[in-house]
Amino acid sequence: MKPLPPGSTIGILGGGQLGRMLAVAAAQLGYRCHIYAPDKFSVAAEVAVEFTYAPYDDIEALGRFADACDVITFEFENVPVAPLAAIAGRSALHPPIGALDIAQNRVAEKNFARAQGGTTAPFAEVIDMASLNTAIKEVGCPAILKTIRMGYDGKGQARIKQDDNLADHWDAVGHQPCVAEGFVTFTQEFSVILVRGQDGAIRYWDTPHNIHEDGILAKSLIPAPANILKQEEAARALAAKMAQAMNYVGVLTCEFFATNNGPIFNEMAPRVHNSGHWTIEGAVTSQFDNHIRAICRLPLGDTGLAAKKIEMTNIIGGNADEWQALLLDSANRLHLYGKGESRPGRKMGHVTKLFL
């Protein structure tokens, strides 16, 4: 199969900052982007050529979108699977729908990682108060209750401590089907970010050490400390096995807890990921560039480092007001996503600092 020639149209489902950075990388390679999003204001559409503003389950609008694109990808993993399956065949779609299906369900995701030989936190499904009581006995306390679907950035989660009133936590997650996870005592958190081409070739970026605050990524640091680097090989092997088993094409991110007994798989994102934003300036080829290359059948670019040390810091909520101060450090590379209003917990941008 030949590469998609420059001038072809890439469809992106999802209208947020990941789509914006994908569209910028695609434009650099001479492609046109068409964004599909259910929100009228899209920071991705602002840098793209076409915009379809329609709900994700509008099969007619999705079909027209597919007909107008040479290949489709997504930047949001909660795009409903059934309408996408209904338009399958009208345009190429990468990564595969199967990867979305697994990533949208925390139970399926953990079972899939285990089936590929990975270790996860102990977990049990919760559908009501009775199963919550049993689950906590099974996985122990402290525990984290997470909705099986639609959770991200710590949303849809409740942290359960000894002697807590379980009914309050069940109320906090809105009585939705959940997974109760045993609390992992980790030394650090990290992610494996890989890209898989249509020929099955895999490349990895350096492993970032990820620091979360309130369930949201705050910083990614390169190089990672020795304790993470010791676990890198096992974590990469699991991520590669998962990618192969899904017949995956594009960037795949797997998040891990580093423990004294090896890596514990937390979750995967079938897309470019916040912990890979440092690759824009910090790697020879960014995650966005290589994702576009993979879905368009171009040769993959070098994922090697462009600096000795790299720090990526998310700009969250009101911190976006600091943009002028951030620019006073000439080593800072500032990215603002063009979101008008800053709300607590909202990702407004990021800054990458390179140490050459």
Q: Which is nearer to ligand AMP, 101 or 189 (CB)?
A: 189
Q: Which is nearer to ligand AMP, 87 or 144 (CB)?
A: 144
> What is the maximum alpha-carbon separation in the chain?
61
Question: What is the spatial distance between Cα 74 and Cα 77, in angstroms, rounded to a whole number?
Answer: 7
Q: Which is nearer to ligand AMP, 119 or 266 (CB)?
A: 266
In whole angstroms, the minimum distance from the beta carbon of 313 to ligand AMP comes to: 16
Q: Which is nearer to ligand AMP, 103 or 296 (CB)?
A: 103
CB contact at 8 A, 292 and 280: no
Q: Which is nearer to ligand AMP, 91 or 274 (CB)?
A: 274
For residue 352, give the H/E element and its range. strand 347-355
Q: Which residues of 89-98 are buried (b: 16+ CB within 10 A; e: fewer)?
A: ebbbbbbbbe
**Radius of gyration for the alpha carbons in the chain, expressed in angstroms and rounded:** 20
Residue type, 71: V
Q: Which residues pair with 124 in a beta bridge?
A: 180
Which tokens is 107 given? 């139970």
Q: Which is nearer to ligand AMP, 189 or 289 (CB)?
A: 189
Q: Answer left, alpha or beta for residue 220, where phi above 0 means left and psi between -120 and 50 means alpha.
A: beta
In whole angstroms, the minimum distance from the beta carbon of 53 to ligand AMP comes to: 28
In whole angstroms, the minimum distance from the beta carbon of 155 to ligand AMP comes to: 8
In whole angstroms, the minimum distance from the beta carbon of 350 to ligand AMP comes to: 17
In whole angstroms, the minimum distance from the beta carbon of 120 to ligand AMP comes to: 9
Question: What is the spatial distance between Cα 124 and Cα 136, in angstroms, rounded to a whole number?
Answer: 8
Q: Which is nearer to ligand AMP, 154 or 317 (CB)?
A: 154
In whole angstroms, the minimum distance from the beta carbon of 218 to ligand AMP comes to: 10
Query: Please, what is the end-to-end C-alpha distance for the chain in angstroms?
Result: 39
Binding residues for ligand AMP, rule: CB under 6 A, are 121, 144, 151, 154, 181, 183-184, 189, 212, 215, 255, 266-267
Q: Which is nearer to ligand AMP, 75 or 189 (CB)?
A: 189
Residues 6+ apart with CB under 8 A from 25: 286, 288, 289, 291, 292
Nearest to ligand AMP by Cβ — which residue? 184
Question: What is the spatial distance between Cα 245 and Cα 113, in angstroms, rounded to a whole number?
Answer: 10
Scan for tokens 């950035």, then name that residue: 153
In whole angstroms, the minimum distance from the beta carbon of 290 to ligand AMP comes to: 23
Q: Which residues pair with 11 in a beta bridge?
A: 34, 72
Which tokens is 85 given? 């399956």
In whole angstroms, the minimum distance from the beta carbon of 132 to ligand AMP comes to: 16
**Helix, strand, coil percent values for the chain (each to nearest 5):** 30, 30, 40
